Structure 1
């Protein structure tokens, strides 16, 4: 009778505990198997955190989250295949190879965020095919981390067979189960624990520490008898060195972030906080210096032209009809609300923003509250924070119907803003708009994307007028009736941007 758990002849599966040629393990086989699977779980969680860290930081630094995620994921998956092939040469020394592999992965993955941030802050663009230095580094780290992660499973397969021989299918199933559950935990820990509590750089460093400790403890604790005395000392020194580097980086990370922000945003950075939604940075705003507000590294408010931009956005909409009730979407900085309150007849202004931290700074920061004229403290203004889509769907949670809806939103070119320029979004706006209501939207510069925005507003049932502001921006004013925006400069699409070419199956245009 054939034992189903016996390895096939010449299968290359190492002998288990107690067999000639193998030093016995310091624990029982069941305990050893559990420890290996626990190591797989921890290493998988760390690997996914490195991956998400690169995606998040690249999106923050370079924009276009879809492109950055595609680059990181595709390169990393390709590199994992290369790593699996390369690990075949290490199977005869699986314990030593896995230990050194985890030390290197902890160092590379833990320091990747700081290195990418430093290159972006202090070198800017390098030119070339990718356009700048951070993209080269992003691809390099994705390759390196992918190769190291891909090399883990073949070595772990040898180690788990070292403990107790079993059929290869069962061993693979056990390893992948622990690997996938670990990836789930790492994927949830990054956005809900590491990022909000520690930030991107410190979170990556902590992950590297956990990775180094888990890998070193597994090999030096469970498989130390498979290593020579010299091999044990080399692995111990490697792990201690990696932990020392990560600890030193952890101590210096605050000074590093401060210096990097000054390099990116100027020497007048006063406030830098990581909210649950985004990083908020305020620069200037004191001693006559204009205030700049950055959200996730992108300039959102420039003090010396903020009033002009908001006037271009607000004034034409409020001059065209009734304005007793006004809804400002995305105006947590309070500047659009200040412009609205300049008009007579305004009885109520509801401001909806996703980030409570921006609202808090708009009320309490001396520079930003001076710029918005302390509009958010006006008794006619009510501020609501939360998901814009959910609040619009609720309808009653706001104060509609509104005479004017002002969409003071990020640039439509940003992938994260796409849903706020969709047909579904304008359909929800239509539900809270009164009979003679108007809606105004910032559409960026005059280009194909701008006419996409105009056509999407029209597809929600509005009659629209496109106009150019005094500051050079382009805006779309829509209403149930033909809107009368007053003395503005209407603009019409060139033939290259004919509306018929801009229809999108989901968003109404695109």
Structure 2
């Protein structure tokens, strides 16, 4: 490699066949090295965005975030090894090989979110597509480093060990930036579909610029034309898809939720969809899961709240329940002095206040001066309340939380969480917990019961049932509109009190 570098510095008139000479560079070799490392940084950031996009979509479309993350990460790491091996065949044409790899990667990664959502919306299944995209993106990502290693050694005096160290340092820093940019910038500003397309555009521009500008003089006219046409086509496809993503999302939502979609918003926490309310019963979906059905939501909310109100109930705490429906039931009692609602998503609260159908359904609970709304994570809020910054203690704590089978809600069913809730209770206070469908997930229900007992509570289990047709509001529902019957027709609850108090 040092001999090749020396030949490159002597110019194109050096002796030896073209394949043995270094590339003819438009800038100094040290500047090229810096630019190659910069492209490594950008490509690593893009690669991690693709990876996180697949994990996020897998969790949203299928559920069980731990399983989806494990599948995507393991398949991609395996595929990266395959890509590294396949890249050995391209080392003799590293520049054109890297350019083509980046073009294909930008197209596959940039369109992956749209393709997965389309698969789910119109085919009703996306597991196979997630594995296929994970495999394809992993193979292409794995081919990057070997090809870039070849390019950087052609223009640098570094030995292989130092070059590898520089490449991996740039790669890891790029991965850090991409990993932080996805949840804090790309997802809230652009949404999942557009974020992937923009990332693909950045990817193809970075890869194409590196090859066509820095190493283009050593490419044949045919190779330069091929790369330029490929990059332009990829950019055109991504730009067209980004321009029509709004229409696509509307069509996909119609396929998933039916034709009655009135509101569809992406918050920093989740996707919120409202259907019906003007024509037909109101349905509220959170990340595709039916959270409220006006057909019979009262069965869930009355079953959750009223048993806990049999006793002192002047001060009530609702954890979750930003839709205002559990608060509505608590506010029915005239001797309730205050109801505090702690929900993580301000978007749900905003709709509960302003949407005509939802605000009517919750009895305009947010207009009641006794209700105090807090936006925040229930676990964190209880911890701060324990330190004296909250309005407790409370006579009743209502845990109107996501289904315990959803991985992201696991901490809200932990012994630590119940310990914090116990310290928020006044003497003689009661806690009620939605613990999942007793009929279908018996083990999960009794696990929640055992956790409550381990936290020092005495418990009384009970259940509420929905109608036989399966329409049922509440967090047990995993049905997506148009996908057949609901998978829950009952709700299991646990009424709990501390120590020797009777629940």
TM-score (ref. length: structure 1): 0.89
In the alignment, the residues of structure 1 paired with residue 374 and residue 68 of structure 2 have an alpha-carbon distance, to the nearest angstrom, of 32
- 2:5–2:156 Cα contact (<8 Å) kept: no
- Gap change, CA 1:458 and 1:92, over 3 Å in 2: same
- Gap change, CA 1:28 and 1:306, over 3 Å in 2: same
Secondary structure of the 2:269 match is coil
Pair 1:152 & 2:129 matched: no
In the alignment, the residues of structure 2 paired with residue 18 and residue 226 of structure 1 have an alpha-carbon distance, to the nearest angstrom, of 16
Other-structure match for 1:347: 337
462-471 or 321-330, larger mean C-alpha shift: 462-471
- Gap change, CA 1:54 and 1:138, over 3 Å in 2: same
In the alignment, the residues of structure 1 paired with residue 291 and residue 97 of structure 2 have an alpha-carbon distance, to the nearest angstrom, of 49
Task: Give the Å deviation of 1:343.
Answer: 1.9
In the alignment, the residues of structure 1 paired with residue 370 and residue 209 of structure 2 have an alpha-carbon distance, to the nearest angstrom, of 61
Pair 1:331 & 2:349 matched: no
Pair 1:258 & 2:250 matched: yes
In the alignment, the residues of structure 1 paired with residue 296 and residue 236 of structure 2 have an alpha-carbon distance, to the nearest angstrom, of 48
Q: How many residues align?
A: 467
Task: Give the Å deviation of 1:339.
Answer: 0.6
Q: Deviations over 1:341-369 (max 9, x none)?
A: 11231111000000111100000011110
- 1:95–1:223 Cα contact (<8 Å) kept: yes
Pair 1:479 & 2:479 matched: no
Task: Give the Å deviation of 1:14.
Answer: 10
Other-structure match for 1:77: 77
- Gap change, CA 1:267 and 1:483, over 3 Å in 2: farther
- Gap change, CA 1:190 and 1:290, over 3 Å in 2: same
- 1:17–1:163 Cα contact (<8 Å) kept: no
Other-structure match for 1:209: 201
RMSD (CA atoms): 1.5
Task: Give the Å deviation of 1:156.
Answer: 0.2
Pair 1:462 & 2:457 matched: yes
Other-structure match for 1:410: 402
Other-structure match for 2:359: 369
- Gap change, CA 1:43 and 1:305, over 3 Å in 2: same
Secondary structure of the 2:430 match is strand
Task: Give the Å deviation of 1:17.
Answer: 4.2
Task: Give the Å deviation of 1:18.
Answer: 3.5
Secondary structure of the 2:73 match is helix
Task: Give the Å deviation of 1:480.
Answer: 2.2
Q: Deviations over 1:378-404 (max 9, x none)?
A: 000000111222211111333211000
Unaligned 5+ segments in structure 2 are 467-489
462-471 or 99-108, larger mean C-alpha shift: 462-471
Pair 1:399 & 2:394 matched: no
Other-structure match for 1:114: 114
- 2:55–2:68 Cα contact (<8 Å) kept: yes
In the alignment, the residues of structure 2 paired with residue 404 and residue 38 of structure 1 have an alpha-carbon distance, to the nearest angstrom, of 57
Other-structure match for 1:500: none
Pair 1:442 & 2:434 matched: yes
Counting only pairs closer than 5 Å after superposition, residues 89-488 of structure 1 correspond to structure 2 as 89-124=89-124, 133-287=125-279, 289-319=280-310, 321-395=311-385, 396-446=388-438, 447-471=442-466, 472-480=490-498
In the alignment, the residues of structure 2 paired with residue 193 and residue 116 of structure 1 have an alpha-carbon distance, to the nearest angstrom, of 22
In the alignment, the residues of structure 1 paired with residue 202 and residue 319 of structure 2 have an alpha-carbon distance, to the nearest angstrom, of 42
- 2:461–2:492 Cα contact (<8 Å) kept: yes
- 1:477–1:483 Cα contact (<8 Å) kept: no
- Gap change, CA 1:313 and 1:140, over 3 Å in 2: same
In the alignment, the residues of structure 2 paired with residue 318 and residue 181 of structure 1 have an alpha-carbon distance, to the nearest angstrom, of 54
In the alignment, the residues of structure 2 paired with residue 222 and residue 246 of structure 1 have an alpha-carbon distance, to the nearest angstrom, of 25
In the alignment, the residues of structure 2 paired with residue 233 and residue 56 of structure 1 have an alpha-carbon distance, to the nearest angstrom, of 37
- Gap change, CA 1:315 and 1:182, over 3 Å in 2: same
Task: Give the Å deviation of 1:30.
Answer: 1.2
TM-score (ref. length: structure 2): 0.91
- 2:5–2:155 Cα contact (<8 Å) kept: no
Q: Deviations over 1:315-361 (max 9, x none)?
A: 11102x10000000001000000011112311110000001111000
Pair 1:67 & 2:59 matched: no
- 1:39–1:218 Cα contact (<8 Å) kept: yes
- 1:17–1:164 Cα contact (<8 Å) kept: no
In the alignment, the residues of structure 1 paired with residue 499 and residue 28 of structure 2 have an alpha-carbon distance, to the nearest angstrom, of 80
- Gap change, CA 1:80 and 1:14, over 3 Å in 2: farther
In the alignment, the residues of structure 2 paired with residue 261 and residue 267 of structure 1 have an alpha-carbon distance, to the nearest angstrom, of 8
Other-structure match for 1:504: none
- 2:428–2:501 Cα contact (<8 Å) kept: no
In the alignment, the residues of structure 2 paired with residue 73 and residue 385 of structure 1 have an alpha-carbon distance, to the nearest angstrom, of 32
Secondary structure of the 1:199 match is helix
Unaligned 5+ segments in structure 1 are 125-132, 486-510
Other-structure match for 1:129: none
Secondary structure of the 2:313 match is coil
- 1:402–1:434 Cα contact (<8 Å) kept: yes
Other-structure match for 1:491: none
